[in-house]
Amino acid sequence: AQTVTQSQPEMSVQEAETVTLSCTYDTSENNYYLFWYKQPPSRQMILVIRQEAYKQQNATENRFSVNFQKAAKSFSLKISDSQLGDTAMDFCAFMKHGGAQKLVFGQGTRLTINP
Amino acid sequence: DADVTQTPRNRITKTGKRIMLECSQTKGHDRMYWYRQDPGLGLRLIYYSFDVKDINKGEISDGYSVSRQAQAKFSLSLESAIPNQTALYFCATSVAAGGPGTDTQYFGPGTRLTVL
C-alpha cells in the first residue's frame, strides 16, 4: 500500500516570501502521479500542480513549482512570491497509474501567509 | 454552474439517525468517489464507482453504504450515524483510465456533517 507523509503540520511566512512544503511517499510502483492540492477557507479542493513519475523535468505552474526526487521518494512544493490568497491547507497526494485511480493523501500542511 | 455538486452543504444529525449525502455531476465522467476528511488525517477513500454497476469499497467503508443511481449521481449513506463519523465529506469524479486527463479528479464543494 502507498503512504504519503507531510511532516510540517503548519507553516507561516510573510507575504512575498518563498516557502517550501515537504512531502515524502512510499510505494513499490514505478509509474504513478503526484499532486499538490490546496484547500482555502472555502474548503474547496483545488488542484495546484501535478507531476508524472516518468518525467524527470519538474512541473511548474506560474508561482508554483515542485522538486521531484524519485529515488528519494520526495515531492516538495515551492511557492514563490507568496500571496495572502495562498493561505490554505495544502495536501500532497499520490495516484498509481491505471487501475482505480485512487488518490492517497498526506495529512496536510496548514499554510498561513501574513501581511 | 458547478460541475460537481453536493447536497446538503452542512448537516447536523443525532446518533442513530440514517442520513444520505448526495453528489451530482454534469461532467459526463464515468468514475465517482467519496472521501472523508478529518483533521490531521487528510482525505481517505470511502467508496468508489466505475459505472452504475461497478461499486467498490475504499480504505474506510465500514459504517457506510453507497448507491450509484445513474452515471451522474452517487449517494453516500450512513445507516446509523455515530459521532466519530463527524467529518467533511467530498465527492469527486474522473474520466475512465486510458484517455487524456485520466489522472485528474474533480471535487465537489464538500458536506460538513456533524453527528451529535
Average pLDDT score over chain B = 92
pLDDT greater than 90 at residue B104? no
Please name the residues in contact with B14: beta carbons below 8 A apart, sequence gap of 6 or more: B81, B115, B116
Looking at residue B97, its pLDDT comes to 66
- The number of beta carbons lying within 10 Å of the beta carbon of residue B93 is 26
The predicted-structure confidence for B17-61, as pLDDT tens digits, reads as follows: 999 999 999 999 999 999 999 988 899 999 999 999 999 999 999
Cβ distance of A105 and B33 shorter than 8 Å: no
The answer to whether B79 and B51 are in contact (CB under 8 A) is no
Cell numbers 479528479: residue: B105
Residue of higher predicted confidence among B96 and A53: A53
Reduced to 3 states, what is the DSSP secondary structure of residue A45? Answer: coil
If pLDDT is split at 50, 70 and 90, which confidence band does A109 have?
very high
In whole angstroms, what is the distance from residue A50 CA to residue A32 CA? 11
CA distance A114 to chain B (A): 22
Percent share of chain B, pLDDT over 90: 82
Looking at residue B109, its pLDDT comes to 95
Question: CA nearest A46 in B: which residue?
Answer: B107
If pLDDT is split at 50, 70 and 90, which confidence band does B99 have?
low
Chain A contact probe: residue of B105, B112, B113 with most A CBs at under 10 A: B105
pLDDT greater than 90 at residue A66? yes
In whole angstroms, what is the distance from residue A54 CA to residue A80 CA? 25
Reduced to 3 states, what is the DSSP secondary structure of residue A34? Answer: strand
Question: CA nearest B95 in A: which residue?
Answer: A101
* Nine cell digits for residue B24: 451530482
SS (H, E, C) chain B: CCCEEEECCEEEECCCCCEEEEEEECCCCCEEEEEEEECCCEEEEEEEEEECCEEEECCCCCCCEEEEEECCEEEEEECCCCHHHCEEEEEEEECCCCCCCCCCCEECCCEEEEEC
Cβ distance of B41 and A106 shorter than 8 Å: no
pLDDT greater than 90 at residue A98? no
Average pLDDT score over chain A = 94
Cβ distance of A45 and B110 shorter than 8 Å: yes
Nearest beta carbon to residue B105 from set A44, A91, A103: A103
Q: Which chain B residues are within 8 Å of A45, Cβ to Cβ?
A: 43, 90, 92, 107, 110
Q: Which chain B residues are within 8 Å of A6, Cβ to Cβ?
A: 42
Residue B63's Cα: distance from chain center in Å?
14
Residues of A with CB under 8 A from a CB of B: 4, 6, 9, 33, 42-45, 47, 50, 52, 91, 93, 95, 97-108
